[in-house]
A and B are shown apart, each in its own frame.
Chain A
Amino acid sequence: MDKKKISILNLAWILILTASLSFSGCRTDMQEASKTEEIFGTIVSVKAYGENAEEAVFAALEKAKELEKIFSLTISDSEINYVNQNAFKDAVKVSDEMFYLVCRADYFSRLSGGAFDYTIERLIDLWGIGNDWARVPKISEIEPLVGLHDYKNIVIDSQNHEIKFKTDTAMLNFGAIAKGYIADEMKSEILKHGVKSALLNLGGNVLAIGKKPDGSLWKIGIANPFNPSSNIAFVEVADCSVVTSGNYEKYFEEDGVRYHHILNPETGFPSKSGLAGTTVISPVSADCDALSTATFILGVEKSVKLIESLDGVEAIFISENGDITYTSGISKYHFKELN
């Protein structure tokens, strides 16, 4: 009888001990690593959880720096600068990364009828928005660079991985897609390390990898275009990218008029489609990036049609008057407006 009582007491102790051990185990076993660096002219932060988190974060940032050397226009010996300087004279053989992004950018340029256009570097450089020489160019300077649809004048040789410009006005600028592509490549790097839960943020472009370490969805706030330090809404996602384009991101003012950085290739001026911000959600960050710019320029009506025609892509449009419009599948991301 006495032995039985003792064993019950022992059992109780063992239960309590194992319970408290497993409780503390949840808190300490999970590795976590995070790092923020400035790459591609933007703030890139990576958070990773689980085994190999540290190595995964390091590898992801290294990958970003590698791609920066290909796509950055501010690095003088980058591949894109070489292509821009030489591809009108002769066909230029390009890296796999460059070739892939040209093809992807070509797809989105055609899909959006040129609202997104990766060949308007001359126009972007003329305005210089985000640089200290930003100014409103003369009409005579803008006119030769408007409505060119130069994305149709890029010869893409998929057999030899060569690029050639048919016109001398065409120059590549991946500003509206490269950040997304870099995020996607960073994700592959993280997955290679066996990390299943991570979060990337490239200057406001969010890419969630897997679910949160506790198994719940990532809760991502969406900047209020009228007061960017606060959120206007949020979504909850897993394995998804959330990218916003807005007139509040980069701009300059001249004679009391605000000129933001999203140029309409058709007018040569900052886009005036009635939208203050667009947010695109899809598993691929490059697609989100390109489509957030394209829809910002196209305006609500055309953009809803465009996004609805694509599989696995949803979007939220915030008009200058504060109206919020969203696509039909947005509820699967638990979209919620905030007051």
Chain B
Amino acid sequence: MKSKTPFLVVTVLALLVFSLLGAYFIFSFKKSKTIAKIYKDKKLVCSISLDDVNQAYTIEIKGENGEINVIEVDKGKIRMKEANCPDGTCVRMGWINGGLLPVVCLPHHVVIEIEGEDDAEKFDDKAY
């Protein structure tokens, strides 16, 4: 009797520790990096981990009828640098580094979205 009770306690404690560790790992996966995703005509063109960018660079996305969007990527941020769309709303949005507001070039069907950052966990959505 005396020899088996500690065994029970140790087993329960060990299981508790393991399950806590497990829970910690499951939840820590949510803290992903800042990932920018670029879509053209609803198709994913590229996905960039913004935290890993060391030097700024640009990506050119060409569409039909001479549509051109130039996207600039820098450490932790991304923007539509140039676009020959009629309204230019996408360029005026400037840099984004998170938030729930994507950069959208409606006329050219180009979307830049940021996923997996703190802001997205803080808010479910955004009214704008």
Partner-B contacts on A (CB < 8 A): 1, 5, 8-9, 12, 16, 19-20, 23, 27, 36-38, 41-43, 130-132, 134, 199, 201, 204-206, 208, 212, 218-223, 228-231, 234, 242-244, 246, 249-250, 252, 279
Q: Which of B93, B96, B104, B127 has the most CB of A within 10 A?
A: B127
Cross-chain contact B11 with A12 (CB below 8 angstroms): yes
Q: How far is the CA of A279 from the CA of B126 in the complex (A)?
A: 11
Cross-chain contact A199 with B125 (CB below 8 angstroms): yes
Q: How far is the CB of A313 from chain B (nearest CB, A)?
A: 15
* A-B CB pair tally, cutoff 8 Å: 95
B111: interface (CB < 8 Å): yes
B49: interface (CB < 8 Å): no
Known: A43-B111, A229-B94. A223 touches B124 (CB 8 A): no
Cross-chain contact B89 with A250 (CB below 8 angstroms): yes
B43: interface (CB < 8 Å): no
B75: interface (CB < 8 Å): no
Name B26's contact: one of A27, A219, A230 (CB within 8 Å): A27
- Chain B residue at smallest Cβ distance from A42: B106
B66: interface (CB < 8 Å): no
Pick 18 A–B contacts, CB within 8 A, sort by A.
A5-B4, A9-B11, A12-B8, A12-B12, A16-B15, A134-B87, A199-B125, A220-B126, A220-B127, A221-B99, A221-B100, A221-B123, A221-B126, A229-B93, A229-B96, A244-B128, A246-B128, A250-B87
Cross-chain contact A1 with B126 (CB below 8 angstroms): no
Cross-chain contact B106 with A41 (CB below 8 angstroms): yes
Known: A131-B87, A228-B128. A38 touches B106 (CB 8 A): yes
Q: How far is the CA of A85 from the CA of B95 in the complex (A)?
A: 43
Closest 10 CB pairs of A and B: A132-B86, A223-B128, A204-B128, A221-B123, A242-B127, A221-B126, A244-B127, A218-B124, A206-B127, A229-B99
Contacts of A27 on B, CB cut-off 8 Å? 26
Interface residues as binary, B1-22 with A (CB distance below 8 Å gives 1, 0 otherwise): 1001000100110010001000
Cross-chain contact B87 with A38 (CB below 8 angstroms): no
Q: How far is the CA of A229 from the CA of B77 in the complex (A)?
A: 12
B42: interface (CB < 8 Å): yes
Contacts of A38 on B, CB cut-off 8 Å? 42, 106, 109
Name A222's contact: one of B96, B124, B126 (CB within 8 Å): B126
Cross-chain contact B123 with A231 (CB below 8 angstroms): yes
Besides A208-B125, A228-B93, A244-B128, 19 more A-B contacts (Cβ < 8 Å) are: A20-B19, A37-B42, A38-B42, A43-B106, A130-B87, A132-B86, A201-B126, A206-B127, A219-B124, A220-B125, A221-B123, A221-B127, A223-B126, A223-B127, A229-B95, A229-B99, A230-B99, A231-B123, A243-B127
Q: How far is the CB of A37 from chain B (nearest CB, A)?
A: 7
B122: interface (CB < 8 Å): yes
Q: How far is the CB of A85 from chain B (nearest CB, A)?
A: 25
Q: How far is the CB of A153 from chain B (nearest CB, A)?
A: 32
